[in-house]
Amino acid sequence: MNSRTGRTERIADQIHRELSEIFSGDLADPRFEVVTVTRVDLSRDLGQAKVHFVASSEDTPIAVLESALNRASGFFRATLSERLPLRRIPQLQFRFDRGTDNVERINTLLGRISKRRKTLSWLFGAIFGLKALFSVAAAEKLPSLERYEASFSAMGTQFTIAAYGKKRGFVASAVASAFEEVRNADLMLNHYHHGSELSLINQNAADGPWKITKPMGDLLEKCLNYSRLSGGGFDITVGPLMHIWGFSRDSGRVPSTSEITRALSVVGYRFVELDRLRETVRFLRKGVELDPGAMGKGYAVDRMVSVLREAGLKRFFISGGSSSLYAGHAPPSDERGWQVNIRSQKEGAKPVQQLYLIQESLSTSGSYEKFFEVDDTSYSHLMSPHTGNPVTGMLSVSVTAPTTLASEIWATALFVNGVEWTRQHKPEGLRVLACAIDQPCEWIY
């Protein structure tokens, strides 16, 4: 054995040992699968580590378990970086151990963790038995839900999750997996990155059908449907308008009338042809450009919600900046729900409305969020796809909806379409707080 091989095996053993301690310690919970690491195979360059594991039962499909562990790889790598004296923690790839040459060893491990699971389940059952006999006293002695909060920067904003669970380590793992979804959404929708899927669509779809992923197809299908429902108030093709007004570069300018006319000639969701059978998208005019500004954060928050729910978490609150929020079940401290304040820019910091959210989202579009001034006139980033100019007359629109994608898109669409259109055409199930500049704020149900 040469020194390089010896070092590789030594580091693999260290990773194996630390991951085993993480699974048997921080992430141990009798309600979930008991995962045991069987071996770690480290690449020669120390950059990749295949982590083989077995589980205590077949309750959870192996593919689902593998997917969950791989989504949480960021959490495991961060934890390993705190425990191991390595300059670089390798990328982790979790794989269920199906090796035929080590069946006896795997069966022995399964026997051990099955016995351990039974012991833990008996203890857990005993606790609930005590609760049934002595409800008040036992409830006081039961471990309370632990709160875990963390933030992650992406898409030009800060995403924050506050979540409750029995085991802090398990909650932390689920939150880390949720942040991985934000990173994936950013990689897909970042129109400032030339290699993102959205940028590649903008660069190529005018030349013919461009192949897209299923997640992108799902998202574009929803966006085009919202465009039709809103009468074009929301339009994913406002990219050219954002360019000529300088908002894509954060350097606002007032374009000429001819510039606006040219930009409007390539703005329109009807110029986007989506083929779900072939999973392709095509632009019907040169110059069409998709812009994720009115839906990117909402999509990312909804992906985070899905991950947390798949992990079994119910009590959580997610914020994508201050304008895109989602609340799960009520926090332990307040059965009414998660308290949020909608503030009126007319009245300074005084809350105009106080809401309690449970299993719903809240998004706000406001002319005060991003704007520039020329000759004492303010120009907002909220564009009308109909006129090619920033919307005037509205201060803000807040919308509650079942999903954050829906609330974010409708907040933009109703801001563009105005109060009167909202009164007549607002979809069922939405609560809307519309604040016009020259009128009192109004709830529209």
State residue 38 phi and psi, 5-degree precision.
Answer: -95, -40
Helix (H) or strand (E) holding 107: helix 103-133
Name the pTM for this structure.
0.69
Helix (H) or strand (E) holding 309: helix 296-310
| pLDDT tens string 352-373 | 688 999 999 999 998 877 777 7
Mean pLDDT for the stretch of residues 248-263? 87
Terminal Cα distance for the chain, rounded: 74
Q: Provide the pLDDT for residue 115.
A: 47
How many degrees, rounded to 5, is the angle at CA 31 between CA 26 and CA 34? Answer: 60
- Which is more confident, 108 or 367? 367
- Which is more confident, 408 or 101? 408
Q: Provide the pLDDT for residue 144.
A: 81
Count, residues in the chain: 445
CA 241, CA 247: separation in Å to the nearest integer?
9
Percentage of the chain lying above the pLDDT 90 cut: 55
| pLDDT tens string 294-314 | 899 999 999 999 999 999 999
Q: Provide the pLDDT for residue 419.
A: 96
Question: At residue 2, does pLDDT exceed 90?
Answer: no
| pLDDT tens string 183-211 | 999 999 998 888 999 999 999 999 999 99
Q: For 3-116, CATH number? A: 3.30.300.20
Query: Judging by DSSP bridges, how do beta strands 377-380 and 371-374 pair with one another?
Result: antiparallel
- Which is more confident, 416 or 130? 416
Most confidently modeled of 28-42, 142-156, 257-271, 336-350? 257-271
pLDDT bin (cut points 50, 70, 90) of residue 119 is very low
